[in-house]
């Protein structure tokens, strides 16, 4: 995997954060993707109207397709097996509902507004993800 | 249309950021999480850069009586750290660390030619359904 230029990382991050900023100032709500996925799919309910959550989620692949067509084509390198993908998806779906958020709602929006819940959740999912990768790559898979 | 268009445009900007910063690539995410391997700092730059405008928006928010398109701000006010929050975050982190996908990047990655995001998103929706089913059983 080629190292990414810091420009792309920072420009991409600024776009993500600007989207979250716009969403707050326009709609008054947190741009949390797991929450909006639950609302759009009818699994959960919340502050964002269903049509708006669905439109936001539709925008995600459109935005990435525009970048892929005109700026850079990102690769998706996945070495995980099908069963592992399913287990991971189940854990992410269940965990983000139980914990009320994911990398966007807690990690970006929540940390930016210094929410104690989001800071604690972000520290927890970072730590558990780091521990999982360590176990998978250096203990079990090593 | 009044709510759909802003949702679509903001989602589009968010998705463009995820693709530009390579967060749609699970290998890039796992390389950040693998502190004992060939560590890749990209995710740290992305998150740091994302928090900056989001924090500025918080400062602007204090000067606004309401958001531009709605009557009031609806941001969670709870400060309580409970077991659900910490257990949920821990489970999410395990799933994230297993393959390197989280909800936003997996959704943005649906159209980039790989099949894996489709499987992951389907399983994620199933996991959310399991949660709402379990919740309805407990609270009934």
The angle that helices B26-33 and A116-134 make with each other, rounded to 10 degrees, is 90
What's the pLDDT at A66? 98
Chain centre distance of CA B65: 27
pLDDT in tens, A74-126: 999 999 999 999 999 999 999 999 999 999 999 999 999 999 999 999 999 99
**Among A residues 99-138, those touching chain B with beta carbons less than 8 Å apart:** 99-100, 102-104, 106-109, 111-113, 115-117, 120-122, 124-134, 136-138
Share of chain A above pLDDT 70, in %: 99
Q: How far apart are CA B22 and CA B43, in angstroms?
A: 9
Under DSSP, the state recorded for B94 is H
- Tokens describing residue B99: 């393959």
pLDDT in tens, B97-134: 999 999 999 999 999 999 999 999 999 999 999 999 99
Q: How far apart are CA B45 and CA B39, in angstroms?
A: 13
Put simply, the answer to whether B98 touches A125 (Cβ < 8 Å) is no
What's the pLDDT at B43? 96
pTM of the complete model:
0.96
Kindly state the average pLDDT of the residues B8-15: 98
* Cα–Cα distances in angstroms (integers) from residue B135 to residues A37, A94, B84, B131, in the given order: 17, 11, 12, 6
Put simply, the answer to whether B53 touches A21 (Cβ < 8 Å) is yes
What's the pLDDT at B135? 86
What's the pLDDT at A142? 56
Q: ipTM of this model?
A: 0.96
Please list every residue in chain A whose beta carbon sits closer than 8 Å to the beta carbon of residue B32. Answer: none
Please list every residue in chain B whose beta carbon sits closer than 8 Å to the beta carbon of residue A84. Answer: 98-99
């Amino acid at each position: 995997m080629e190292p990414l230029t810091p420009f792309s990382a920072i420009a991409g991050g600024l776009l993500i954060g600007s989207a979250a900023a716009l969403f707050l100032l326009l709609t008054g709500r947190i741009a949390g993707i797991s929450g909006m996925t639950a609302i759009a799919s009818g699994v959960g309910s919340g502050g964002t109207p269903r049509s708006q959550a669905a439109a936001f989620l539709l925008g995600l692949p459109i935005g990435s397709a525009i970048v892929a067509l005109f700026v850079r084509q990102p690769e998706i390198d996945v070495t995980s097996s099908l069963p592992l993908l399913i287990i991971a998806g189940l854990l992410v779906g269940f965990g983000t509902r139980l914990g009320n958020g994911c990398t966007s709602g807690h990690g970006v929006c929540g940390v930016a507004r210094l929410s104690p819940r989001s800071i604690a959740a972000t520290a927890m999912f970072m730590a558990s993800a780091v521990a999982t990768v360590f176990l998978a790559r250096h203990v079990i898979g090593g | 249309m009044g709510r759909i268009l802003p949702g679509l445009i903001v989602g589009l900007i968010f998705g463009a950021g995820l693709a530009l910063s390579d967060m749609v690539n699970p290998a890039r995410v796992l390389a950040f999480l693998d502190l004992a391997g060939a560590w890749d700092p990209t995710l740290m730059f992305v998150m740091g850069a994302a928090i900056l405008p989001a924090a500025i928006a918080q400062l602007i928010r204090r000067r606004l009586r309401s958001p531009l398109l709605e009557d009031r701000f609806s941001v969670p006010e709870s400060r309580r750290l409970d077991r659900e929050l910490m257990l949920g975050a821990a489970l999410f982190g395990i799933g994230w660390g297993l393959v390197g996908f989280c909800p936003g990047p997996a959704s943005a990655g649906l159209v980039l030619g790989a099949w894996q995001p489709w499987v992951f998103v389907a399983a994620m929706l199933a996991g959310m359904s399991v949660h709402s089913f379990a919740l309805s059983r407990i609270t009934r």
